[in-house]
Amino acid sequence: MKTAILGGGLSGLTLARLLQEKGNDVVVLEAEPEYGGLCRSKTDRGFTFDTGGSHIIFSRDAEVLAFMRRMIADNEQRNNRTTKIFYKHLFVKYPFENGLSDLPPEDRFACINGFIKTLIAVEKGELPPPENFREWIYYTFGDGIAECYMIPYNEKIWKYPTDRMSLHWVDGRIPRPPVEDVIRSAIGIETEGYTHQSVFSYPLDGGIEALIHAIAAPIQKCIRTGFRVVSITKSGAGWKISNGDEVIEADRCICTMPLQHLLPCLEDVPPGVKDAAAALKYNSLVCVNIGIRGRVPDFSWVYVPDPAMGMANRISFPSHYSRNVAPPGRSAVLAEITHQPGDEVASMTDDELILEVIVMLQNMEILKKDQVVFSSVERQPFAYVVYDLDYQKNIAVVKDYCSSAGIPLVGRFAQFEYLNMDGCIRSVMDFVASGV
CA atoms of 408 and 420, how far apart (whole Å): 19
Report the residue number, 101 or 242, with the smaller CB distance to ligand FAD: 242
Q: Is 197 a residue that touches ligand FAD (CB under 6 A)?
A: no
Task: Calculate the alpha carbon distances from 372 to 239, 286, 333, 367 in Å.
Answer: 52, 19, 10, 8
Query: What does the per-residue mask of binding to ligand FAD show for 268-287, with x meaning CB under 6 A?
Result: -----------------x--
Residue 90's CB: how many other CB atoms inside 10 A?
A: 13
Amino acid at 292: I
> Segment near ligand FAD (CB under 6 A), from 87-95, 187-195, 254-262, 369-377?
254-262
How many whole angstroms separate alpha carbon 131 and alpha carbon 389? 9
- What string marks each residue from 372 to 411 as x (binds ligand FAD by CB under 6 A) or -? ----------xxx--------------------------x
- For position 421 contacting ligand FAD by CB under 6 A, the verdict is yes
Q: Which amino acid is at 262?
A: L
Residue 41 binds ligand FAD (CB under 6 A)? no
- Does 11 bind ligand FAD (CB under 6 A)? Our answer is yes
At its nearest, how many Å lie between ligand FAD and the CB of residue 384?
Answer: 6
When binding is defined by CB under 6 A, the residue of 32, 147, 251, 350 that contacts ligand FAD is: 32
Residues 342-371 that bind ligand FAD (CB under 6 A): none
Amino acid in the structure at residue 164: R
Cα 116 from Cα 114, distance rounded (Å):
6
* Among positions 81, 228, 274, 379, the unique one binding ligand FAD when judged by CB under 6 A: 228
Nearer to ligand FAD, 145 or 212 (CB): 212
Three-state secondary-structure class, residue 395: helix
Cβ-based burial of 177 (10 A; exposed 0-12, middle 13-18, buried ≥19): buried
Does 29 bind ligand FAD (CB under 6 A)? Our answer is yes
Give the separation between CA 116 and CA 108, rounded to whole angstroms.
Answer: 12
Q: According to the binding rule CB under 6 A, does residue 256 interact with ligand FAD?
A: yes
CB of 68 to ligand FAD, least distance (A): 8
User: Applying CB under 6 A, what is the total number of residues that bind ligand FAD?
Assistant: 37
Query: Which helix (H) or strand (E) segment is 398 a member of?
Result: helix 391-405
Contact flag: residue 7 with ligand FAD (CB under 6 A): yes
- State which residue, 31 or 276, has the beta carbon closest to ligand FAD: 31
Is residue 249 a contact partner of residue 239, using CB atoms and an 8 Å limit?
Answer: yes
Angle made by CA atoms 10, 56, 65, in degrees to the nearest 5: 70
Q: Applying CB under 6 A, does 203 fall inside the site for ligand FAD?
A: no
Quick one: which segment of 111-119, 290-298, 387-395, 418-426 binds ligand FAD (CB under 6 A)? 418-426
Q: Are strands 301-303 and 84-87 parallel, antiparallel or unpaired?
A: parallel
- Cβ proximity to ligand FAD: between 132 and 420 the closer is 420
Q: Which residues make beta-bridge pairs with 293?
A: 330
Q: How far apart, in whole angstroms, are the C-alpha atoms of residue 421 and residue 65? A: 10
- Is 337 one of the binding residues for ligand FAD (CB under 6 A)? no
Binding residues vs ligand FAD (CB under 6 A): 6-12, 29-32, 37-39, 52-53, 55-56, 228-229, 256-258, 261, 285, 336, 382-384, 411-413, 419-422, 424
